[in-house]
Amino acid sequence: MEHSAVKWIQIPAKKLSRAATFYQNVFDAAFFFEELNDIPHAVFKTGENGRKFLNGAIIEVGEGDFFGQGSILFFDATGDFETIITLISENGGKIITPKTLITHKESGNSYTIPNTYIDNKPGYYAHFLDSEGNKMGLYGTN
């Protein structure tokens, strides 16, 4: 059972446009913007130079949610999502967001199930605390 691949990273920001401008100006990163699961995202994309900065996004968080949150690494859980969730709980971790389908808000209360930017398939995520209290994530297609 191999699940060491980091599939995605989320970088929290109090002001999405300011954070995106920072990464664009400092690292020549490129973005597109959209809302996923009611959270504004600046998703890293391949820039004009043909380089992709990283597989992930900057996410906008509320003031009360920001401090102590830190970046979130998402580990690959495809094929073993439920087993990994059980193992997290059995080994001193805690599930804080259960397995959740990734959705895209179209308008109002209308949502679609998109192919993700991670692997171009519909996907699920979960958040957990590891045994040391670090917030991490799982990503999988089933």
- What does the angle CA 12 – CA 10 – CA 108 come to, to the nearest 5 degrees? 80
Structure confidence at residue 51 as a pLDDT band (50, 70, 90): low
In a domain, 126, yes or no: yes
Integer Cα distance of 61 and 81 in angstroms: 26
In a domain, 1, yes or no: no
pLDDT at 108: 83
Q: Is the pLDDT of residue 140 over 90?
A: yes
Bigger pLDDT: 54 vs 42: 42
Q: Is the pLDDT of residue 59 over 80?
A: yes
User: Looking at residues 116-133, what average pLDDT do you find?
Assistant: 87
For the stretch 28-38, pLDDT in tens is 788 999 999 99
**Structural domain count, the chain:** 1
Integer Cα distance of 14 and 127 in angstroms: 20
Report yes or no on whether pTM surpasses 0.75. no
Strands (E), 15-118: 30-36, 39-45, 56-60, 72-76, 94-101, 104-107, 110-112
Q: Which domain holds residue 123?
A: 6-140
**107: CATH:** 3.10.180.10
